[in-house]
Amino acid sequence: MKKAMFILSTVLLFGILSSCSTDELTVKKNWIFTITMTTTTTPASLGIPVMTTSTTEEQDNLTQVEAEAARLVLEKQYPTVSQTLGDMTQTMTFSITKAEKK
């Protein structure tokens, strides 16, 4: 199964790379990364609302591939975290998006 997933991933990667023009892969651009944290509390009967906060980080002079790698690194730095205090559980979920800075 691992071998099949590796082959599939490799074929998909080459497919994506071949469908992109070389300019898209080599042109350096400025990027904005948005880190969004959503905090939920269970049980919902406690009446604590879902809280969402966002922060942005700018990275300049990166290719599209480098920007995606940076997004994946940020994603690894912000894992989902859960804390339980008695009957209450708080879960913090992070999502990271990237966009080209205009």
pLDDT computed for residue 85 by the predictor: 92
Tell whether 7 is covered by a domain: no
Is the pTM for the entire model greater than 0.85? no
pLDDT computed for residue 10 by the predictor: 73
What is the average per-residue pLDDT within 2-25? 67
Tell whether 17 is covered by a domain: no
The count of structural domains within the chain is 1
What is the average per-residue pLDDT within 15-27? 68
CA atoms of 15 and 20, how far apart (whole Å): 9
Beta strand 81-85 with 29-42: parallel, antiparallel or unpaired?
Answer: unpaired
The answer to whether 64 touches 24, Cβ cutoff 8 Å, is yes
- Look up residue 87 and give its two tokens: 């009957």
27-40 CB burial, b ≥16 within 10 A, e <16: eebebebebeeeeb
pLDDT computed for residue 52 by the predictor: 97
Strand segments (E) across the chain: 29-42, 51-62, 81-85, 88-100
pLDDT computed for residue 100 by the predictor: 94
pLDDT digit string, tens, across residues 74-96: 899 999 999 999 999 999 999 99
- Look up residue 85 and give its two tokens: 């205090």
pLDDT digit string, tens, across residues 42-63: 998 889 999 999 999 999 999 9
Domain of 56 in residue numbering reads as: 26-100
Tell whether 80 is covered by a domain: yes
Tell whether 43 is covered by a domain: yes
